Amino acid sequence: MAAARTNEPAAFAAVGRDLRTSRAAGVAGLLFAVLFVSSILLLRNHPASGSSADEIRAWYLRDSSKQVALVGLYLAPFAGISFLWFIAVIRQHLGDREDRFFGTVFLGSGLLFVAMMFAAAAAAGSPLAAVKFQGAPVPSPDVVVATRGLAYTFLYVYAIRVAAVFVVSVSTVALRTAALPRWLIFSGYTIAAVMLASVSFFRFIVLLFPLCVAVVSMAILLMRRPSDAETFPA
């Protein structure tokens, strides 16, 4: 009995640490989803594809249009930071249970996704940043088409597939460690298959990834916490 009482403070501390880690992962994942979706939607506030030179010039001369798009551009790095925090907290939570192979894929695909997301945001916002901060002339339709195509390629060809690999690795690790409900794990596999098979610039397919991260984060936050009786049986 005395030994059990001696071990209780350390055990309580371990449980409290796990609960704080789970909450941090859930909050970081939700924050990433909100910031990523907001950034994508705000950066879409650009001259439409096929706009004439006059329409592009009119858009760039409106301060309201530029301010909205700039907010989206500056939200992108904070979305990436939140996602990196989400990865770090999940890895800490798994600890020794993390499979080396899938852990490497999990970390590598997460870092690549952030890099591709940053590249897409930079490509989409570079003409606007040049006009706003460097006094560059309003871009021509050819420049707008080129930068839009580059941003879409980074996001819809590369980032979306790296995100699919990330979802597969997370789902596999969760399946092996029973860290998430099975319905959520197999839903992750389905979402990853859709993202991998996508061959078009369907704008809203990229939102499947933040949706998946948000649902996983909610599951982490809502998972039943162990009671004292379960954690420290008599």
Across 151-155, 211-215, 220-224, least confident range: 220-224
Give pLDDT, residue 19.
46
Band (16; pLDDT cuts 50, 70, 90): very low
**Most confident range, picked from 49-53, 165-169, 200-204:** 165-169
The three-state DSSP-derived secondary structure of the chain is CHHHHHHHHHHHHHHHHHHHHHHHHHHHHHHHHHHHHHHHHHHCCCCCCCCCHHHHHHHHHCHHHHHHHHHHHHHHHHHHHHHHHHHHHHHHHHHHHCCHHHHHHHHHHHHHHHHHHHHHHHHHHHHHHHHHHHCCCCCCHHHHHHHHHHHHHHHHHHHHHHHHHHHHHHHHHHHHHCCCCHHHHHHHHHHHHHHHHCCCCCHHHHHHHHHHHHHHHHHHHHCCCCCHHHHCCC
Give the whole-angstrom CA distance, residue 40 versus residue 35.
Answer: 9
Give pLDDT, residue 8.
43
Average pLDDT over residues 21-29: 77
Average pLDDT over residues 141-150: 87
Average pLDDT, the chain: 80
> Which residue did the predictor score with more confidence, 145 or 192?
192
Contact 137, 164 (CB under 8 A): no
Q: Is the pLDDT score of 120 beyond 90?
A: yes
Task: Find all residues with CB under 8 Å of 34, minimum gap 6, and list them.
Answer: none
Place of tokens 């992962």: 25
Contact 211, 167 (CB under 8 A): no
Give the whole-angstrom CA distance, residue 166 versus residue 161.
Answer: 9
Q: Is the pLDDT score of 32 beyond 90?
A: yes
Give pLDDT, residue 98.
66
Give pLDDT, residue 17.
47
Band (220; pLDDT cuts 50, 70, 90): confident
Give pLDDT, residue 95.
63
Q: Is the pLDDT score of 227 beyond 60?
A: no
| pTM (2 d.p.) | 0.80
Distance (Å) of CA 176 to CA 11, 99, 108, 133: 24, 9, 19, 50
Give the whole-angstrom CA distance, residue 73 versus residue 46.
Answer: 12
Band (201; pLDDT cuts 50, 70, 90): low
Give the whole-angstrom CA distance, residue 68 versus residue 45.
Answer: 7
**Most confident range, picked from 24-33, 78-87, 138-147:** 78-87
Band (204; pLDDT cuts 50, 70, 90): confident
Angle CA 154–150–147, to nearest 5? 140
Task: Find all residues with CB under 8 Å of 82, minimum gap 6, and list them.
Answer: 28, 29, 31, 32, 35
Band (93; pLDDT cuts 50, 70, 90): low
